Amino acid sequence: MLRNLEKAQELQTRGVDVSQGDFDHPETLGQVFAGIDRLLIISADGDNETRIREHNNAVAEAKRAGVRFIAYTSLANARESKNFLVP
């Protein structure tokens, strides 16, 4: 899923299915998530407030679409971040 399909033209020519959606516009996500059983969310860029809002939008829409399994990648170097506590 991409915000801008033009960035995926090379992938499309190779036969990769791509969809357009935007975590900041949850109304674009339902159609993207429809019919899938598993979803991998790769951590979005931005500040914590933006990231949390976007990820919450994605999870809520995935649940509405019937996605049964959601996996999430953490932030890069989360241990080094002052914004996250790692035991």
Nearest 10 degrees: Cα torsion 56, 61, 21, 53: -10
In this structure, what token pair is assigned to residue 7?
Answer: 């960035």
Answer yes or no: pTM beyond 0.85.
Answer: no
Query: What is the pLDDT, as a whole number, of residue 81?
Result: 58
pLDDT by residue (tens digit) across 44-84? 777 778 888 898 999 999 999 999 999 988 766 666 555 55
pLDDT by residue (tens digit) across 33-51? 999 999 998 887 777 788 8
Q: What are phi and psi of 64, to 5 degrees?
A: -60, -35
In this structure, what token pair is assigned to residue 64?
Answer: 């509405």
* All structural domains of the chain: 14-80 (3.40.50.720)
